[in-house]
C-alpha cells in the first residue's frame, strides 16, 4: 500500500500531541514526576560541574569525596525514577552505571595519588600543609597574559636586614605554596633573603592552566617583577620538577649582558613538559586526555594537551647564569646527569642518596644546605651596573616601574 506523504505530515502533530498527554488527557510534559526528573538531572549537572569543572574542591579532599557520593546518590535516584516511567530503563541504568564508574575512578585516583606519595620518598607532600609565620603575607599577582596568581611573600620588617637579595620558589606539579616542603624552604631562607613562593597557573589558588607552550614563564616573570619592585637587586630562582620548564624559559629571557636572574637552582628537573612523574601507566600520563583527567582529580592540577620543546634544547640559552642541578643518586635514566652535561658553564651538580623525587626526605636538610650555599654565593655578587638594565626586555622594565608605583 503506497504511503501518502501529505497525509503523513498532517498526522504528525496529532501523534506528537497524543504522546504528550496521559490517560486522562492531561499534559505529561511537566507533571510532578517529570519535574522531579528534571530537578534530579539539574542537581546532577550542578554537582558534576562543581566536581570536575571548577577547582573549588581540589584543595579539600573531604568535600570532593562528599560531592562524588552526592553524584552517586543522584544517579541512583534517576535510575529508580526510570523504572516508574514509560521510558527505556536501560538508558537510566546506563547513566547510573556511568556515574558510578566515574565516581569510583575519581576516588581510586585520589587514593592511588596518596599511596604514591606515601611510598615515594619525595619531600613534596601536598597533603601536609604548614602555616607560615606572622611575617608572611598572601599577595595577588597578574601575569602578563592576564592570568591571576597567588603567592606568599616573606619580606623584611623595619630595622631588619637591608634589601638586595631575594629568592623566587616555583613548585612542581605535586606541590603548592602551602606544601610542607615549600613553606619550610621559604622560612629557612627568610633570615637571609626575601622569599616569594608562587602558586603557578593551574595549581593551588592561581587561575589558568598549565600549557606546553611554556606560558607559565609569565608567572615567573611576574614574581620577578614583584621582587624587583621591593628593592632587590639580586634575585635567585629555585624550581622543582615540572616547574623547571617555566623557570628555564623565564631565565633565558633577556640578553647575556642583562640576565634576569643571578642564579638558577633546579631540583630534579624533568626532561620534558608533561613527563608522567605521577606514574608510568597510560592513565597517569599527562600527554593523553585520560592522564590529564587523572592529574585534575588526583592532584588538582589543571593541564592542557600538546607537546613541548625538550628541556635539553632550552638549557644552552642559559649561558652566563650560574646553574645548579640536584637529583637522586638512584636515578636509572640519569636524567639530571644528562641535563647537567647540556647546561652551559658555570654549572654544578649535586646528587643525594635515595630515590626520592625531587629528593629523598632523609636528604632534605642537605638539599636545603646546598641551595642556601648556592644562593649565598651567587646572590652575593656585585649587582650589575645601572647601564645593564638597558638590556632587559622593555616590557619587564615597565612592569617593574608600575609595581614600584603601586
CB 250 within 8 A of CB 237: yes
Question: Residue 84 and residue 221: Cα distance in Å, rounded?
Answer: 60
Asked if residue 99 is part of any domain, the answer here is yes
In DSSP terms, which residues pair with 152 in a beta bridge? 138, 197
In this predicted structure, the answer to whether residue 406 has a pLDDT above a threshold of 60 is no
Question: Residue 188 and residue 242: Cα distance in Å, rounded?
Answer: 23
16 pLDDT band (50/70/90 cuts)? very low
Residue 70 pLDDT? 77
Mean pLDDT of 189-218: 91
Residue 237 pLDDT? 96
252 shares a domain with 172: yes
Mean pLDDT of 25-54: 64
Question: Residue 250 and residue 120: Cα distance in Å, rounded?
Answer: 30
Domain count, the chain: 2
342 shares a domain with 228: yes
Mean pLDDT of 75-102: 67
| Model pLDDT for residues 100-121, shown as the tens digit of each residue | 777 677 777 777 666 665 555 6
Question: Residue 198 and residue 223: Cα distance in Å, rounded?
Answer: 7
CA angle 343, 305, 66 (to 5 degrees): 115
In this predicted structure, the answer to whether residue 190 has a pLDDT above a threshold of 80 is yes
Residue 12 pLDDT? 42
| Model pLDDT for residues 224-259, shown as the tens digit of each residue | 999 998 888 899 999 999 899 999 999 988 666 667
284 shares a domain with 143: yes
Winning range, highest mean pLDDT, from 107-116, 146-155, 157-166, 277-286: 146-155
340 shares a domain with 225: yes
First to last CA, the chain: 84
308 shares a domain with 216: yes
The pTM of this model reads 0.74
Place of cell 597574559: 145
148 shares a domain with 69: no
CB within 8 A of 88, min separation 6: which ones?
82
CB 286 within 8 A of CB 276: yes
Q: Which of 25-29, 157-161, 249-253, 261-265 has the lowest mean pLDDT?
A: 25-29
Higher pLDDT, 251 or 280: 251
| Model pLDDT for residues 338-353, shown as the tens digit of each residue | 999 999 989 999 999 8
Residue 200 pLDDT? 92
Domain range for 96: 29-117
Strand pairing of 263-267 and 234-240? Answer: parallel
Backbone angles phi, psi at 135, to 5 degrees: -75, -15
User: Quick one: how far is CA 60 from the chain centroid?
Assistant: 15
Among residues 117, 151, 184, the one where a domain terminates is 117
Asked if residue 218 is part of any domain, the answer here is yes
Higher pLDDT, 12 or 40: 40
Residue 396 pLDDT? 52
Mean pLDDT of the chain: 76
In DSSP terms, which residues pair with 265 in a beta bridge? 238, 324
Residue 289 pLDDT? 80
Asked if residue 314 is part of any domain, the answer here is yes
165 shares a domain with 230: yes
In this predicted structure, the answer to whether residue 337 has a pLDDT above a threshold of 50 is yes
158 shares a domain with 39: no
217 shares a domain with 90: no
Residue 208's CB: how many other CB atoms inside 10 A? 21
Mean pLDDT of 362-387: 78
Higher pLDDT, 50 or 347: 347
197 pLDDT band (50/70/90 cuts)? very high
Asked if residue 131 is part of any domain, the answer here is no
39 pLDDT band (50/70/90 cuts)? confident
Residue 3 pLDDT? 47
Question: Residue 45 and residue 274: Cα distance in Å, rounded?
Answer: 30
236, burial (CB in 10 Å: exposed 0-12, middle 13-18, buried 19+): buried
312 shares a domain with 194: yes
Residue 118 pLDDT? 54
Higher pLDDT, 270 or 47: 270
188 shares a domain with 323: yes
148 shares a domain with 62: no
Higher pLDDT, 385 or 350: 350
Mean pLDDT of 281-306: 79
CB 370 within 8 A of CB 324: yes
Among residues 83, 117, 151, the one where a domain terminates is 117
Question: Residue 197 and residue 171: Cα distance in Å, rounded?
Answer: 8
CB 235 within 8 A of CB 167: yes
Asked if residue 154 is part of any domain, the answer here is yes
CB 187 within 8 A of CB 178: no
CA angle 108, 296, 145 (to 5 degrees): 175
Winning range, highest mean pLDDT, from 71-85, 235-249, 287-301, 332-346: 235-249
Higher pLDDT, 103 or 27: 103
Residue 140 pLDDT? 93
In this predicted structure, the answer to whether residue 265 has a pLDDT above a threshold of 70 is yes
Asked if residue 5 is part of any domain, the answer here is no
Amino acid at each position: 500500500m503506497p504511503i501518502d506523504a501529505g497525509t503523513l505530515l498532517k498526522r504528525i502533530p496529532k501523534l506528537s500531541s497524543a504522546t504528550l498527554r496521559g490517560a486522562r488527557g492531561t499534559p505529561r510534559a511537566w507533571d510532578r514526576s517529570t519535574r522531579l526528573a528534571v530537578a534530579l538531572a539539574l542537581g546532577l549537572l550542578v554537582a558534576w560541574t562543581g566536581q570536575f569543572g571548577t577547582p573549588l574542591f581540589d584543595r579539600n579532599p573531604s568535600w570532593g569525596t562528599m560531592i562524588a557520593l552526592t553524584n552517586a546518590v543522584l544517579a541512583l535516584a534517576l535510575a529508580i525514577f526510570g523504572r516508574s516511567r514509560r521510558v527505556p530503563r536501560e538508558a537510566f541504568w546506563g547513566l547510573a552505571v556511568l556515574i558510578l564508574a566515574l565516581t569510583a575512578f575519581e576516588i581510586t585516583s585520589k587514593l592511588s595519588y596518596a599511596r604514591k606519595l606515601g611510598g615515594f620518598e619525595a619531600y613534596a607532600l601536598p597533603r601536609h600543609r604548614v602555616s607560615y609565620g606572622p611575617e608572611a603575607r598572601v599577595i595577588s599577582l597578574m601575569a602578563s597574559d592576564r592570568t591571576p596568581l597567588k603567592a606568599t611573600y616573606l619580606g623584611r620588617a623595619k630595622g631588619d636586614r637591608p634589601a638586595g637579595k631575594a629568592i623566587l620558589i616555583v613548585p612542581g606539579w605535586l606541590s603548592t605554596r602551602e606544601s610542607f616542603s615549600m613553606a619550610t624552604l621559604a622560612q629557612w631562607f627568610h633570615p637571609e633573603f626575601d622569599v616569594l613562593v608562587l602558586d603557578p597557573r593551574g595549581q593551588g589558588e592561581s587561575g589558568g592552566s598549565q600549557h606546553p607552550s611554556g606560558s607559565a614563564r609569565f608567572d615567573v616573570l611576574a614574581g620577578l617583577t614583584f621582587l624587583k619592585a621591593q628593592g632587590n637587586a639580586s634575585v635567585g630562582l629555585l624550581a622543582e620538577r615540572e616547574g623547571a620548564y617555566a623557570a628555564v624559559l623565564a631565565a633565558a629571557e633577556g640578553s647575556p649582558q642583562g640576565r634576569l636572574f643571578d642564579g638558577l637552582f633546579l631540583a630534579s628537573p624533568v626532561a620534558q613538559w608533561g613527563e608522567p612523574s605521577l606514574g608510568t601507566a597510560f592513565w597517569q600520563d599527562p600527554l593523553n586526555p585520560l592522564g590529564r583527567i587523572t592529574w585534575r582529580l588526583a592532584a588538582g592540577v589543571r593541564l592542557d594537551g600538546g607537546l613541548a620543546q625538550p628541556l635539553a634544547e632550552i638549557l644552552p640559552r642559559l649561558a652566563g647564569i650560574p646553574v645548579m642541578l640536584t637529583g637522586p643518586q638512584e636515578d636509572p635514566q640519569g636524567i639530571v646527569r644528562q641535563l647537567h652535561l647540556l647546561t652551559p658553564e658555570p654549572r654544578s651538580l649535586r646528587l643525594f642518596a635515595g630515590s626520592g623525587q625531587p629528593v629523598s626526605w632523609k636528604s632534605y636538610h642537605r638539599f636545603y644546605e646546598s641551595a642556601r650555599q648556592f644562593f649565598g654565593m651567587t646572590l652575593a655578587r656585585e649587582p650589575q651596573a645601572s647601564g645593564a638594565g638597558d638590556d632587559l626586555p622593555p616590557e619587564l622594565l615597565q612592569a617593574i616601574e608600575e609595581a614600584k608605583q603601586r
